[in-house]
Amino acid sequence: MFSPNLSSLFLASTAPLWVAIVLAVAIVAVGAAAFFAGSYLRSKITAKKIGEVDQRIKVMLEEAEAESKALKKEAILEAKEQDLKLRNEFERESKEKKAELARAEQRIMQKEDNIDKKEDALQKKSESLEQQQKNLQRKEEEIKKTQEKINHQHDLMIQELEKVAQLTREEAKKLLTENILDETRHDVAVQVRNIEQEAKDEADMNAKKIISLAIQRCASDHASEITVSVVPLPNDDMKARIIGREGRNIRALENATGIELIIDDTPEVVILSGFDPVRREVARLALERLISDGRIHPARIEETVEKVKKELDQQIKENGEAAMFEVGIFGLHPELIKLLGRLKYRTSYGQNVYKHSIEVAQLAGMMAAELGLDVNLAKRAGLLHDIGKAVDHEQEGTHIQIGADLAKKYKESNNVINAIMAHHGDVEPKTVEAVLVQAADAISGARPGARRETSTNYVKRLEQLETIASSFKGVDKSYAIQAGREVRVIVKPEQIDDAQTLFLAKDIAKKIEQELEYPGQIKVNVIREFRGVEYAK
């Protein structure tokens, strides 16, 4: 390789050609010498490094061999220790196994001794049983011979009895069976009567205790209500203003409210008549406001009626919430709350259904608490049991079916729906709480003064009660007493015995339940009296 200075000299030189050749040869010789010198130096350095590496490898091999010998020695020692440990453990387990085998062998020997003893005892028992069996066979043969003699004598006696009684064997057996069946029926009826009487007495005592406690804790006032409302007037001149020119005011009020206004000769009063209690209340409030304001004309009437309707809707909602809070239940659907508030303007046999529902809920809840049942379910079902009466003027069907449909619509539980449908006995109650709602409904409706009944319906119910009781065979006379709360039945003693009176009372009660509608409960009292009468002449 040429340096830059030499190249420039060579190119710039004007010397002859042979000088250039000499210089080139000299430069090549110098480069070759430098190359061989570098190669020699590199080989020396490489050889030295290889020697050092070999020396290191040798040292590392010696160290690895020494370490390997140490590890091998340590592994041999550890293996010997492990072998010794395993031998000791094997010897210990062998000793334990031998001891356990010795104990097992001893137990087996004891069991063999016991088995030998038991075999001896069984052999003795077997011999004893064989002897007893022989004795039994001998006795059976003796008994068989005796039985044959008895059967022969029995046949002779039966033949003699048939001759004396003039009855065949089958006829005598039939007669005897009939007599036994009659006596058995009588005894069973007596036992059933005694058992049922004891159970009934105990159940009546507990029921009276629970019911009386519930009634004492829930004392409600009752006021008989009717389907008319009376609005007092400041003077009779107000009647003319209410009627208006050619009756336009009274027609406007009747059209707006749907209630009939009766203005007659009764001084200073106007009678509002209608079956829808909410409409009647709207008409009453609107008329009172119109009378107080003094401005009575069709436009004012319509305005006042609309205003009263809105206020009454709010009042109905507040009434429903108040009933819910008074009873202590929560989570009712808003529409059910409104329907509950409407019951405040609904009556049944003169009893306010709103107060009746609250009372039923409280009574059912108290009885459920005494019996350890679901108090919330009893109260909820009691409060909603007559919810159908809130809209029975607007929808077809009984208040029971309407109430059940409303409860289903607003996602009440199946137990609440069953209690609503069963509170008049239309379906079977599925829970005890439903039975308590039935009882609470009867208690609330049977309070003195709670409900009123027309004399015609009252007399008709008493006649039906006596007719049902007299329709049974063996009944001599029947009387409805205690305002229809009890029917007293007198039977013919020659046709009905003491045991049959119980079954007759049950049959009469069942027929009354099927054919008659009545509040509360009716006691069926069957009386059998036999008199021996003779005259001294």
Q: Let me know: does 263 contact 240? Beta carbons within 8 Å.
A: no
- Is the C-alpha dihedral spanning 337, 342, 344, 346 positive or negative? negative
Strand blocks (E) in 306-372: 347-348, 351-352
Strand pairing of 351-352 and 228-232?
A: unpaired
Strand pairing of 351-352 and 475-481?
A: unpaired
Is the pLDDT reported for residue 407 higher than 70? yes
| Averaged pLDDT for residues 509-514 | 90
- pLDDT range class, residue 267, cuts 50, 70, 90: confident
pLDDT score at 275: 74
Is the pLDDT reported for residue 159 higher than 60? yes
pLDDT score at 14: 45
| Higher-confidence position of 294 and 14 | 294
- Highest mean pLDDT (candidates 299-303, 413-417, 526-530): 413-417
Is the pLDDT reported for residue 386 higher than 70? yes
| Higher-confidence position of 104 and 231 | 104
Measured at the CA of 204, the angle between CA 199 and CA 208, to 5 degrees, comes to: 155
pLDDT score at 31: 79
* Residue 450 φ then ψ, to 5°: -70, -40
pLDDT score at 164: 62
pLDDT score at 408: 92
pLDDT score at 167: 62
Tokens describing residue 318: 């507040």
Q: Rounded to whole angstroms, what are the CA distances from 471 to 271, 376, 477, 485, 507? A: 47, 44, 10, 19, 11
Q: Exposed, middle or buried, 300 (CB in 10 Å: 0-12/13-18/19+)?
A: middle
pLDDT score at 8: 47
Q: Let me know: does 368 contact 374? Beta carbons within 8 Å.
A: yes
pLDDT score at 508: 92
| Higher-confidence position of 50 and 479 | 479
DSSP 221: -
Tokens describing residue 515: 């054919």
pLDDT score at 273: 79
* Residue 262 φ then ψ, to 5°: -110, 110
| Averaged pLDDT for residues 307-335 | 88
Tokens describing residue 276: 């829808």
| Averaged pLDDT for residues 179-196 | 77
- pLDDT range class, residue 489, cuts 50, 70, 90: very high
| Averaged pLDDT for residues 446-463 | 66
Q: pLDDT (tens digit, 9 = 90+) per residue, 268-277? A: 788 887 777 7
Is the pLDDT reported for residue 399 higher than 80? yes
Q: What is the DSSP string of 451-483?
A: ----HHHHHHHHHHHHHHHHTSTTEEEEEEEGG
Is the pLDDT reported for residue 226 higher than 60? no
Secondary structure tally for the chain: helices H, strands E: 15, 8
Is the pLDDT reported for residue 153 higher than 70? yes
- pLDDT range class, residue 208, cuts 50, 70, 90: low
Give the rounded percent of residues in the chain with a pLDDT score beyond 70. Answer: 86
DSSP 1: -
Of 129-143, 216-230, 439-453, 521-535, give the lowest mean pLDDT range. Answer: 216-230
| Higher-confidence position of 469 and 155 | 469
Let me know how long the chain is.
537
Round the average pLDDT of the chain to a whole number and report it: 81
Q: Which of 477, 491, 492, 478 is nearest to 522 (CA)?
A: 478
pLDDT score at 452: 55
Contacts 24+ apart (CB under 8 A), 304-311: 305/253, 305/256, 305/257, 308/282, 309/282, 311/285
